[in-house]
Chain A
Amino acid sequence: MTEQIIEKIEKIEKKHKKKETIRSSVVLKVYRANRRAGESVHYDSIEVPVQRWTTVLDALLYAKAYKDKSIGIRYSCRMASCGSCGMKINGIPRLACYTKVSELEGSTITVEPLANFPHIRDLVTDFSQFFSHHRDMRPYIQNDEADIKDRAKLSEFMQSPEDLDKFLQFSYCIKCGLCYSACPTVATDTKFPGPQALSQAYRYFIDNRDAAGKERENIVDDRHGIWRCHFAGSCSSVCPKGVDPALGIQLLRGHLLGFSKNEKKVADLRERPKRD
């Protein structure tokens, strides 16, 4: 399964690999708005010099450092690990640090805040609701047998590579919110948990260290739960980490409909060997 996933990611990368265009400068069309201060929405066009390796985040930070210090932007790691710099670049949700200017068409790059998130200022959006949906899925291993307080009984969960393959790709999620922004159901239904939360529900549901499968089923089996997914698949196409949330949702639906059985054997706890 891992090979298949790698092949799939390579295929997606090949498909999305665009001809690089070398330019010396680009015009950033930046969405600007501060509703709290009564500012209306407008776009600022800022010309920035670029190199072949310049990312959209680099260009934005250049603009912020040398052209307009007031641009509101959230970022952190600059290496597609933290998921902070998600924004709509030329209309598509992407990570600014993971998008090279040379890969984009045209000499004008439009940057806008992520859709489906409450707007704060300029390119910054509020992730409270998104994280709340994620938290609702109880994204952690639940196993009453594991007593982490009793250090003497601290034990390990045995898991085979096959068990790992079932959820590995879903654990690559960095919670950047791109899938949530691309989801057409989230756009109309604010109670819908979104692809990120639902795929994380599946990630823990199928993990054989977790013993709370039934509880997770009850959480997602709601009027505004997993059944409201239209299977547009846009969540999977925008994920920068190659996660396929739509697949996780469909697999979890299969379990809820009884087509698939979660016949996992909950991992046994192994007692810590006593030291002499």
Chain B
Amino acid sequence: MAMLRESQIMKIHYITGIAALFVVAVHILMRLIIPFSLSLEYENVIANYHNIPYVLLLESILVLIAIHGFNGLRIILLELRQSKAWEDGVTILTIVAMMAVVAYGTLTIILANGSRF
């Protein structure tokens, strides 16, 4: 079942956590370019989705936070019960949930972008 060693998973966990801090900081700073309330207006939000570098930033936030968050959830759930079936079940469930969230988020980004990639 274990495709990756726990140390490799934790390395990914720490890297995605630190990287997420960086990209989220950039994302928040981008809100400050224009007045905050103005930045959340429909036209501005759609305009952001048409900006390819910004779209890539949003996608990276989505992927990094999904990996970091769902692995965190896996770790918490692993401590609840100790059995092979539970551990494998939790691992599969969190991977599937992570992929579903990334797929749904990516679809939203693509739709908002109007498929202008």
Q: How many A-B residue pairs have CB under 8 A?
A: 33
Contact B7 A228 (CB under 8 A): no
B87 at interface (Cβ–Cβ under 8 A)?
Answer: yes
Cβ-neighbour of B82 out of A191, A225, A256 (below 8 A): A191
Q: Do B78 and A223 touch across chains, with their CB atoms under 8 A apart?
A: yes
20 further A-B pairs in the complex, CB-CB below 8 A; given A189-B82, A227-B6: A185-B79, A189-B78, A189-B79, A190-B82, A191-B82, A221-B7, A222-B6, A223-B2, A223-B78, A223-B87, A224-B78, A225-B6, A227-B7, A227-B10, A227-B75, A228-B78, A257-B10, A257-B11, A257-B14, A258-B11
Question: Beta-carbon contacts of B66-89 to A below 8 Å, as 1s and 0s?
Answer: 000000000100111010000100
Q: Ordered nearest first, which 7 A-B pairs have the shortest CB separation?
A: A256-B7, A189-B79, A191-B82, A188-B79, A221-B7, A227-B10, A227-B6
A221 cross-chain contacts in B, Cβ below 8 A: 5-7
- A191 partner residues in chain B, CB cutoff 8 A: 82
Complex Cα distance A115/B36, Å?
A: 52
Tell me the B59-117 residues at the A interface (CB within 8 Å): 75, 78-80, 82, 87
Q: Could you tell me which B residues sit within 8 Å of A by CB distance?
A: 2, 5-7, 10-11, 14, 75, 78-80, 82, 87
For the residues of A in contact with B, the DSSP-based class is loop
**Pairs across A and B, CB under 8 Å, 29 listed:** A185-B79, A188-B79, A188-B80, A189-B78, A189-B79, A189-B82, A190-B82, A191-B82, A217-B7, A221-B5, A221-B6, A221-B7, A222-B6, A223-B2, A223-B6, A223-B78, A223-B87, A224-B78, A224-B82, A225-B6, A227-B6, A227-B7, A227-B75, A228-B75, A228-B78, A256-B7, A257-B7, A257-B14, A258-B11
State A221–B6 Cα separation when bound (angstroms). Answer: 6
Chain A contacts of B5 at CB under 8 A? 221
Show the binding face of A for B, using Cβ within 8 Å: 185, 188-191, 217, 221-225, 227-228, 256-258
Q: Is the CB of A228 within 8 A of B79?
A: yes
Among B11, B75, B79, B80: residue with most chain A CB under 10 A: B79
Main secondary structure of the interface of B (DSSP, over half): helix
Chain A min CB distance to B60 (Å): 23
Q: How far is the CA of A225 from the CA of B7 in the complex (A)?
A: 10
Closest to B84 in A: A223
A224 CA / B79 CA spacing, docked (Å): 8
Q: Give CA–CA (A185, B78) in the complex, Å.
A: 11
A241 and B11 CA atoms in complex are apart in Å by 33
Contacts of B75 in A (CB 8 A): 227-228
- A188-B79 Cα distance, complex, nearest whole Å: 6
Bound complex: CA A167 to CA B6 (Å): 25
Whole-angstrom CA separation of A222 from B2 in the bound complex: 10
Residues of A within 8 A of B78 (CB): 189, 223-224, 228
Q: Report the Cα distance A62→B47, complex, angstroms.
A: 81
- Measured CB to CB, the nearest residue on chain B to A256 is B7
- Which A-chain residue is minimally distant from B13 (CB atoms)? A227
CA distance A222 to B14 in the complex (A): 17
How far, in angstroms, from A164 to B41 measured CA to CA in the complex? 65
Closest A residue to B82 by CB, please name it. A191
